[in-house]
Amino acid sequence: MNAITPNTLQRSLTGLELQVGTRLPWSLYSPQGTLLLTQGSLIRTEKQIESLLGIKAHYFLTPHLGTYAPQTSNKSGSSKVSSFVIIHTLLERLEDAFKLLKTQHNGNAFIRKIMQLVFDIQGTCEENPDGMLGTMQLIVEAPHGLVHPLHDALMCEVACCRMGQGPLERFPLIAAALTHDLGMYDIQQALFEQSSPLTEKQRHIIDTHTQRSHDLLRQQGVTEARWLTPVLQHHERLDGSGYPAGLVGEAISRDARLLAITDCYSAMIRPRAYRNQVLPRDALREIFQQRGSTIDAELARLFIEVMGIFAPGTLVKLTNGEIALITGRGKSLNQPTLALISNRLGVCLQQPEAFTLEDNREISAVLRIQDHAELIALLGDVWPAMTPIPSAC
C-alpha cells in the first residue's frame, strides 16, 4: 500500500456526500483498509448508502490534489482489488449492456458487451472461484434484475468448469444465464419489492418472459442455439410441470436443466418483501429434495458438490460462540474453509483468521448477513485481492 502522506486526510463517510444515481468522487474503504468501491462506482439505492454508513466506510482526500487512492500491490507491482470491487464492476457493465436494449439500431453492441462480460466472468472465476461465488452471495443492495443473472452466470461458469468443459464450450450457457430474464427485466425490481398479490398484467409478463427473452435476443442478432435454448427452457421441469411448453425429461436441454438449478438457488437465497431470505443451506436442501422429480438428479448432485453443504458466503455461528464466514468448499462437502471474524465474546477481529473445521469446532447455526451488518466491513479481506477487470472497450 502506498504511504499516506501527512497531507492526506482520511474522512469518515457521513452520507451527506452521497446521492442515489450519482457516482463516487473517491474510492471507499472499510475500517480495515479494504477497497470496497472504486472511484466512479454508481450509488444505486438508499439501502446501499445505509450499508456503507453502517460499516463506517471512509475515503481519502489530499488537499489541493484531489482524491487519494491507496493501492494494494502484488510482487510485480500491479494493483489488486477486493472481490467486492470485481462484482460491482461486473454489475455496472451488465447494466450498461441492458441499457442498449432500449437503443434502436445499436448494431451488435449488445452482443459484444455480453460476450465481453462472459470473458470477464471466466477470467475472474479462474482466478478465484470461491471468492466470486461467496462475494456474490453477500451482495444484498444491488438491483435484483442485475444481481440475479450475474449470480446465475457465476454459478454456471464454476459448475461447468468443474465438469471439465472448456472455455468455448461454457461460453453460450454463461451468456444465456446473463440474459435469461430479459423479458421481465423492466418489472423485476418492482416484483422483488412487492408484497401484494401479482396483478393480471404481471402474471402475464412472468408467464411469457422466457419466450420474450428468447425473441429479444433474436432481435439483437443472437443465433447461437446453445445461447437461445436455455433462455427459452430454463423454467421447464422434468415432470412436465414447467413452462412455456411443458417439456418432459430429455426434451429439456442439459444446459437449461443446469440453469434451472442456479436460477432456483439464486432466487431462494435473496429476501423478498413478502418473505425472509431462505438460508443457503436450506436452499441446497430443497434442490436436493427435488432431484429426479422436477430437476436433474445428476446436475443437482454436481451443483451441491460445487457449492458445498455450506456455500461460500454463508455466515455461521460455531458451537463455542464464534462467528465465521464460509470461504470455500474445502477438501470435503462437510469440511469447508472458513474465516473467523468474531470471537466467542462477540468481539470483531481486526483481521479475519482462516481455518478449517476441526473436532473442537462445529457449526451450530447459519446466520443471515442482513442481521449482522456490523460484520460486513470485515469481509473484504476474507478472499485474496484480485486482478482488476480490464477497462471496457
Q: Determine the Cα–Cα distance for residues 172 and 224; give it in Å rounded to an integer.
A: 8
Residue 50 near residue 14 (C-beta atoms within 8 A): no
| Better-scored residue on pLDDT, 3 or 90 | 90
pLDDT digits (tens, 9 = 90+) for 340-358: 999 999 888 878 899 988 7
Q: What is the mean pLDDT of the chain?
A: 87
Residue whose C-alpha cell reads 461458469 in the numeric block = 157
Kind of pairing between the strands at 315-318 and 363-367: antiparallel
| DSSP one-letter code for 239 | B
| DSSP one-letter code for 188 | H
Give me the pLDDT at residue 68, please: 41
pLDDT digits (tens, 9 = 90+) for 211-249: 999 999 999 999 999 999 999 999 999 999 999 999 999
Rounded to the nearest 5 degrees, what angle is found at the Cα of 66, between the Cα atoms of 65 and 69?
105
Residue range 268-275: average pLDDT?
80
Residue whose C-alpha cell reads 466470486 in the numeric block = 132
| Better-scored residue on pLDDT, 56 or 328 | 328
Domains of the chain: 9-78 (no CATH), 81-307 (1.10.3210.10), 315-381 (no CATH)
Tell me how crowded residue 167 is: count the other CB atoms within 10 A of its CB.
Answer: 15
Residues 6+ positions from 363 with CB-CB distance below 8 Å: 310, 316, 317, 318, 319, 357
Residue whose C-alpha cell reads 425472509 in the numeric block = 276
pLDDT digits (tens, 9 = 90+) for 276-325: 788 999 999 999 999 999 999 999 999 998 898 899 999 999 999 999 99
Give me the pLDDT at residue 223, please: 96
Residue 384 near residue 155 (C-beta atoms within 8 A): no
Q: Determine the Cα–Cα distance for residues 261 and 257; give it in Å rounded to an integer.
A: 7
Residue 160 near residue 173 (C-beta atoms within 8 A): yes
80-84, 264-268, 311-315, 330-334: segment of lowest average pLDDT: 330-334
pTM for the model stands at 0.85
Residue 273 near residue 192 (C-beta atoms within 8 A): yes
